[in-house]
Amino acid sequence: MSQNIENHLIEDREFLPSEEFRSKARISSMEQYNEMYKESIEQPDVFWAREANELQWSKPWDEVLDWQPPNAKWFVGGELNVAENCVDRHVAAGRGDKAAIIWEGEPGDKLTLSYKQLQDEVCKMANVLESRGVEKGQRVLIYMPMIPEASIAMLACARIGAIHSVVFGGFSAESILDRLEDCKAEAVITADGGWRRGSIVPLKASVDAALEKYAGVKTCVVVKRTENEIDMVAGRDVWWHEMAAVASNEHEAKSFDSETPLFILYTSGSTGKPKGILHSSGGYLTGAYTTCKYIFDMREEDVYWCTADVGWITGHSYITYGPLAMGATQLMYEGAPNFPDFGRFWQMIEAYKVSIFYTAPTAIRAFIKAGDAFPEANDLSSLRLLGTVGEPINPEAWMWYYNKIGGGRCPIVDTWWQTETGAIMIAPLPGCTPIKPGTCTQPFFGVEAVILDEEGEEVGANEGGRLMIRKPWPSMLRGIYGDPQRFQETYWNDFEGIYTVGDGARRDEKGNFWIVGRLDDVLNVSGHRLGTAEVESALVAHPTVAEAAVVGRPHEIKGQAVVAFVTLKQGIEATAELEKELRNHVGQVIGAIAKPDEVYCTPVLPKTRSGKIMRRLLKELVATGEVTGNVTTLEDFTVIEDLQKKIKS
Ligand code: PRX
């Protein structure tokens, strides 16, 4: 962490957009940004009413914001239909033939859906869900590969007022079960499978395993994607293509109150149980739309590509809702970035003439390692804007992205935000903000980001502290599903009415934000949040494990690697096979992304005299191979010496 800060302090490369880019951008000078930012902070009602009014409302709101910390209501009394805004609105405006989603499957199959075709599909799915008894307010779990039906399923839920909860296709059956139970879902939308690195991910089989232990689901709609053999449970499971063949493509959308819950998305926290982050309709859509408009500066002729999965918030806001609310054309890709090799993305950028490309630092680092020959083999001149998200980007990766992919001509928007914030919070505006490798630069409109010390005082320039947000913003989370107390405790207890982000950061003398990383026990593995407590509880659920401590170690590609220390139950012998089994066990309980890179079996864990595991020491140990920090509270130093030997061997 301290090394990161030092790197940042000496970073003096700064880049400005070209005159050509600047002159066409919606916001083309810092004066314009500053003026709009000032208005957004001093008169949020005026600013956000103007933005939200670009969407389609069937009933105007009475009040822009009702803020009773920690509860915010945006566009109070207003009514809209989110799906209509993302689809029908564009068809009605005569843009029905415009491509909404250009999709490519991993095996190379292709499909383009125009806005009119998307409308037909969303209406059919809405009709199917309603015919199966799904109603407003019910929870629908979506577990899908990256195929257009994933967005169609989300929009169909939005259209009928059902609350979707998308679970990333890499999560396990147990993770599905946890989420089904937590949100008490009544329907599931899934597929027989999806393609990943040339193999079929058996999605339906995982859903079946979860549904064996959860009886609340009355209907499961299954999209045929891979044609692998699956079980269909009579009465409960239906094929989407069979239902779609007879479903009407007309569906009258009802309007819903602006605060109608739109979705629940689970994310890791510092306890064992993921939190169901709840987002609502009007404010969320306004946030997703406005950030697409200003930060990606999306244009009618752009081909936009976000490489995230819809199972993460990036896929919600910047695949399904934001770009479609803008009426943009976007590319969607099913598979792995390195299938059949690391040239896949660059071939697709050339083939589809992608102009805006949004990906994660971890992917960029993997591409760097794979070698320049891959991007050099393709014509990337269609690109005009690049983006990153998910973790701090190291300056070397930034420079490579800027020069090798962007040809030195495309601004990079390093976008800082979270599942909870719903939309981008800190990022450059590509037509005006001076960009530098490693900083997400300036707050977006309406975002009053501050860095506070332990007492809640603002720290000076370049001093590290906690990143906090002072004012409510439209796309902010509305709660943790079913747990108002945890909502209050996690986000609002540090300082009255101020949102606790959970990241450490500093702000330089020019006002740029530099994110250092999480301050809690949450790891960032390949841009995805993973709670150490979650992995620990998976480990102790194994019959051989007595105790577990999980820490992160810096990792060249993934950002952080997961390292687990376990003590075994009496009489159990530590073997290489057992360590392997424990890794796989975590993969089975949570999903492959949570698999520890290393598992160390140890007779004891380093503890304080009062019995608390000293994770700080373990973290230092795995990062540097030794422990230099304060160990005076450690009960028995020989534990560390033994572990040191083990790690070095
Ligand atoms: O630590 C920050 C990091 O990712 C966390 C949010 O994770 P999640 O909710 O999974 O959302 C990821 C995609 C929005 C943050 O608390 N993070 C996200 N973007 C950046 C970042 N850290 C530095 N720079 C970023 N651009």
Give me the DSSP letters along 322-343. HHHHHT-EEEEE-S-TTSSSTT
419 is in an annotated binding site: yes
Which residue lies with its CA nearest to atom 8 of ligand 1?
A: 418
Instruction: Say if residue 477's pLDDT is above 80.
Output: yes
Peptide bond into 70 cis (omega under 30): yes
Q: 315 CA to middle of ligand 1, Å?
A: 13
Query: What is the average pLDDT across 270-280?
Result: 91
161 pLDDT higher than 60:
yes
pLDDT of 610 above 90: no
* Residue 267 Cβ contacting ligand 1 at under 6 Å: yes
ipTM of the complex: 1.00
Cβ neighbors of 210 (< 8 A, separation 6 or more) are 173, 174, 176, 177, 180
The pLDDT score that the predictor gives to residue 156 is 99
Residue 590 Cα to ligand 1 middle (Å): 20
Q: Is the CB of 306 under 6 A from ligand 1?
A: no
Mean pLDDT of the chain: 96
- Between the two ends of the chain, the Cα-to-Cα distance in Å is 26
Mean pLDDT of 384-401: 96
- Give 525's pLDDT tier (boundaries 50, 70, 90): very high
> Residues 632, 588: contact at Cβ < 8 Å?
no
Cα 484 from chain centroid? 22
State the Cα angle at 264 between 258 and 265, rounded to 5°.
130
The DSSP output letter for 594 is G
In angstroms, the CA 611 to CA 558 distance is: 32
Please indicate if the annotation marks 540 as binding a ligand: yes
Ligand 1 binding pocket includes 428 (Cβ within 6 Å): no
Q: What is the pTM of this model?
A: 0.96
CA atoms of 121 and 146, how far apart (whole Å): 16
Lowest pLDDT segment from 392-396, 497-501, 520-524, 639-643: 639-643
Residue with CA nearest ligand 1 atom 7: 418
What percentage of the chain exceeds 90 in pLDDT?
A: 92
Indicate whether residue 106 lines ligand 1 (CB < 6 A). Answer: no
Distance CA 594, CA 287 (A): 30
For 283-305, write each residue's pLDDT tens digit.
999 999 999 999 999 999 999 99
Whether 290 lines ligand 1, by a CB cut-off of 6 Å, is: no
Measuring from atom 12 of ligand 1, which residue has the nearest CA? 390
Residue 3 banded pLDDT, cuts 50, 70, 90: very low
Q: Strands 256-257 and 79-80: what pairing?
A: antiparallel
Give all strands (DSSP E) within 69-212, no chain letters.
Answer: 71-76, 79-80, 99-104, 110-114, 139-143, 163-166, 187-191, 194-196, 199-201
SS3 140: strand
The tens digit of pLDDT for each residue in 242-265 reads: 999 999 999 999 999 999 999 999
Q: Is the CB of 194 under 6 A from ligand 1?
A: no
Q: Whose CA is nearest to atom 13 of ligand 1?
A: 390
Which of 421, 89, 138, 422 is closest to 260 using CA atoms?
A: 138
Q: Is the pLDDT of residue 471 over 80?
A: yes
Does ligand 1 have an atom closer than 6 angstroms to the CB of 303?
A: no
Give the pLDDT band (50/70/90) at residue 6: low
Q: Is the CB of 8 under 6 A from ligand 1?
A: no
Say if residues 389 and 336 touch (Cβ distance below 8 Å): no
Token readout for 178 is: 């946890």
What is the pairing mode between strands 356-359 and 385-389?
parallel
The atom of ligand 1 lying closest to the CA of 528 is 10
Average pLDDT of the segment spanning 409-426? 98
The amino acid occupying position 585 is H
User: Is the pLDDT score of 8 beyond 60?
Assistant: no
391 is in an annotated binding site: yes
Neighbours of 108 (CB within 10 A): 9
How large is the average pLDDT for residues 111-119?
98
Residues 329-355 have pLDDT tens digits of: 999 999 999 999 999 999 999 999 999
Computed from CA positions of residues 526, 528, 534, 538, in that sequence, does the dihedral angle turn out positive or negative?
negative
189: helix, coil or strand? strand
220 token code pair: 């499961």
How far is C-alpha 268 from the geometric centre of its chain's CA atoms? 11
338 belongs to an annotated ligand binding site: yes
CA-426 nearest atom, ligand 1: 26
Nearest CA to ligand 1 atom 18: 390
The one-letter code for the residue type at 496 is E
Q: What is the mean pLDDT of residues 571-597?
A: 96
pLDDT at 2: 41
Q: Is residue 611 within 8 Å of 633, Cβ to Cβ? A: no
| CA gap 587, 353 in Å, rounded | 37
| Whether residue 415 has its Cβ less than 6 Å from ligand 1 | yes
